Amino acid sequence: MSAIHPSQLVFFAAHAPFDRMEQPHLLWMLERMRLAYYAKGEVIVSPEQGIAEHFIVIKQGMVHGEQSVADASDADAWLELAEGECFPLGALLAHRPVASLYRAGKDTFCYELPAADFHTLLGLSAPFRDFCTRRIANLLEHSKQVIQTQYAQSSAGQQSLNSPLSAIIRRAPITCSPQTSVREVLQRMHESRIGSMVAVDEAGRPLGILTLPDVLERIALPQIDLAQPVIGVMTTNLTLLSPQALAYEAALVMAKHGLRHVLVVENGRLTGLVSEKDLFALQRVGLRQIGSSIRHAQRLEELQQAATDIRSMAHNMMAQGVAAEQLTQFISTLNDLLTARVVELECAACGLGATPLADSLCWMALGSEGRFEQTLNTDQDNALIFSVPEGMTVEQVREQLAPVAKRINDALALCGFPLCRGNVMASNPQWCLSLDEWKRIFSNWITNGTPEALLHASIFFDFRPLYGAYALAEELRLWLARAASGNTRFLRQMAENAMSIRPPLGVVRDFVVGKERKLDLKLNGITPFVDAARIFSLAAGVTHTSTVQRLRASAARLNIHPSEIDAWIDAYLFIQVLRMRHHDEAKAQGLSDDVLDNRIDPERLNELDRRILKEAFRQARKLQARLAVEYHL
């Protein structure tokens, strides 16, 4: 056993996962470690050495990982490891040789722990085991805590939206029978100081709800007979969630449908009631308020204010540590409502509501909005799909819709969604098409598309209906799933395009950057995940449009291990968080929408975020390696 120097404790306390280990376990590890030196260029571990014998932590220097097995899907290609990083976890956990050759990039000192002690430590220390088996997820948890600390002053004390509803329910619900008189219900609500009453049957199943706003609209103004059964004035179309549902799911439902309450039900029985006040007691801008203001807006100025409120809400949620997947769903849900209201108002202003076209068109979101992945800086990508009313031709419909679509695109631009520079918008006649025309367009891309054409067409495969005749878009989606899944030539071409955008990991430095010393988090960070998920979903016949859902739904059908999917999703979501932080900080500095971008200087990131970003890019390379194997690239 080696003696432990205080400097060793200081070193390990600065790096994950050692900073979370209990001191007895950390000391146990240090007692069994030895310090090794490797000169620049010297091989530290290689596949030829057999089963990995040591858990290695870099104390000083740099280690390069060189891919040496071309078909090893879990190999890191030309990765760079720095002080505080450890390897080779995958090989140690699987009791196998490493898949990459690890070489000292310069004179390097490493702490080394024998493999047998490594496996013993997995059993001793839960934080160490969690890190080794869920490395990127563990690092993300560290990063989330840092983000929450950074944002704490602007949003202290807000309710966590990651909590299950069972943890938010404050007391058992006060209920009545459906035959209780209106007078008695009102008296009980007053005495109990509650804002709602739920009627339940003998088995505890909820049948209806009465809220304070209902009292004015359904009881006071109509001056009804207070002796009648309360069920007659209750809302009976109820929204039910399970106790295991998360608060953010309840918030999404409230925002989308303009509700103030959701009922929590287990095995059909009412167990609690969650109000918007429970979710956002300390939040300055509530989801339902924004949703309500959008739904009732009559003027564009009101929608512009709602767009500002959405951005304010997003900032608050980042402070809460709301996950990127949830946050982008919130933003997209509210932007959906805003877009739908703009379409509705502009159609009415043009007199379209009084024509046969009113029920024959569907406004579709494309790109990031189609994938539920909008950030605070997203331009417009949209299209129209329509059926042709009797007595009209396709061209006549297109002519009538063109000026309406132009008004809608211009109104959305005024609400903070810049016009698409590539003119992928419904106002472009090229993207205002009938259902049959859309099928012909997609069919041509699938059967005859060139790699260049497919590159430009990729965002169209992410379409999603926002307003109007949803059935048109849904029919197109089901048709597309059948048409694309069996065409291997098309899928291979899509995969070739996806492989052309490589994660910017460097050989000599951490990252490959351009002349401005910046990384494009959208092009080189997000795009590899988005493209691969789109291809997997098309191959598997999956109809989801979001990247995360596509990866999850495709996994079983393509025989991809869940741990691989989880690592890819964690990596993708971290880059999304980094993008949103970048946009939020730029907004705070007063930058306008037209100058916001996705380019960051990696040198300005803290050490933890740099480390996670490197790991995220490595996961992108692993995802592309899987794509290459699937399509023999």
Phi, then psi, of 17 in degrees rounded to 5: -95, 5
Mean pLDDT of 535-550: 92
590 compared with 400, residue with greater pLDDT = 400
The larger pLDDT score, comparing residue 65 to residue 454, is at 454
What pLDDT is attached to residue 90? 80
E strand spans, 456-528: 464-468, 519-520
Average pLDDT over residues 63-81: 54
Q: What is the pLDDT of residues 148-205, one digit of tens each?
A: 555 544 444 344 666 788 877 867 888 999 999 999 999 999 888 788 999 999 999 9
Per the CB < 8 A criterion, the answer to whether 466 and 347 are in contact is no
- What are the Cα distances from residue 31, in Å, to 10, 111, 117, 205, 454? 15, 11, 11, 61, 58
Instruction: Note whether 223 and 214 are within 8 A (CB).
Output: no
pLDDT in the model for residue 258: 80
pLDDT at position 208: 95
Run of H or E residues at 612: helix 607-630
Q: Which amino acid is at 207?
A: L
Integer Cα distance of 198 and 205 in angstroms: 10
- For the cut 50, the answer to whether the pLDDT of residue 75 exceeds it is no
- Print burial letters for 561-581: b (CB count within 10 Å at least 16), e (below 16): eeebbbbbbbbbbbbbbbbbb
Tell how strand 240-241 and strand 261-266 pair up. parallel
Q: Report the range of poorest mean pLDDT among 225-239, 596-610, 616-630.
A: 596-610
pLDDT value for 156: 40
Tell me the β-bridge partners of 264.
241, 272
Q: What is the mean pLDDT of the chain?
A: 85
Q: What is the pLDDT of residues 407-428, one digit of tens each?
A: 999 999 999 898 998 999 999 9
Position 160 scores a pLDDT of 61
Alpha helices in 500-606 (DSSP H): 527-540, 547-557, 562-588
Global pTM value:
0.66
Query: What Cα–Cα distance (Å) separates residue 112 from each residue in 116, 270, 616?
Result: 12, 56, 25
The overall longest dimension of the chain from CA atoms, in Å, is: 91
CA distance 8 to 408: 63
Q: In whole angstroms, what is the distance from residue 209 CA to residue 264 CA?
A: 13
> Residue 629 carries which side chain, given as an amino acid letter?
V
Q: Which pLDDT score, from 0 to 100, does residue 282 have? A: 33
Q: How many CB atoms lie within 10 A of CB 281?
A: 12
Note whether 238 and 198 are within 8 A (CB): no
Q: In the CATH scheme, what is the code of domain 6-133? A: 2.60.120.10
Confidence class for position 71, pLDDT limits 50, 70, 90:
very low
- Show the tokens assigned to 275: 């109000």
Residue-range domain boundaries for the chain? 6-133, 165-250+263-280, 495-630
Query: 520 burial class (0-12, 13-18, 19+ CB within 10 angstroms)?
Result: middle
The total number of residues shown for the chain amounts to 633
CA nearest to 510, candidates 582, 615, 599, 600: 615
Give the lowest-confidence range in 182-186, 220-224, 264-268, 322-326. 322-326
- DSSP string for 118-178: HHHHHHH-HHHHHHHHSHHHHHHHHHHHHHHHHHGGGSTTPPPTTSBHHHH--SPPPEE-T
CB 501 within 8 A of CB 531: yes
**Span of 129-138, 198-207, 516-525 with lowest mean pLDDT:** 129-138
What whole-number distance in Å separates Cα of residue 432 and Cα of residue 385? 6
- CA dihedral 284→290→292→298, nearest 10 degrees, is 120
Least confident segment among 141-155, 336-350, 371-385, 452-466: 141-155
Cα→Cα distances 172→162, 190, 197, 231, 271, Å: 22, 17, 12, 21, 7
CATH superfamily of 165-250+263-280: CBS-domain (3.10.580.10)
| Of 541, 547, 445, 559, the residue nearest 486 (C-alpha) | 541
Q: Return the pLDDT at 326.
A: 80
H-type alpha helices, 321-450: 324-349, 367-370, 394-414, 435-448
* Percent of the chain topping pLDDT 70: 89
Average pLDDT value for residue range 313-337: 79
Same topology for domains 6-133 and 165-250+263-280, yes or no?
no
Parallel, antiparallel, or unpaired: how do β-strands 54-60 and 63-67 relate?
unpaired
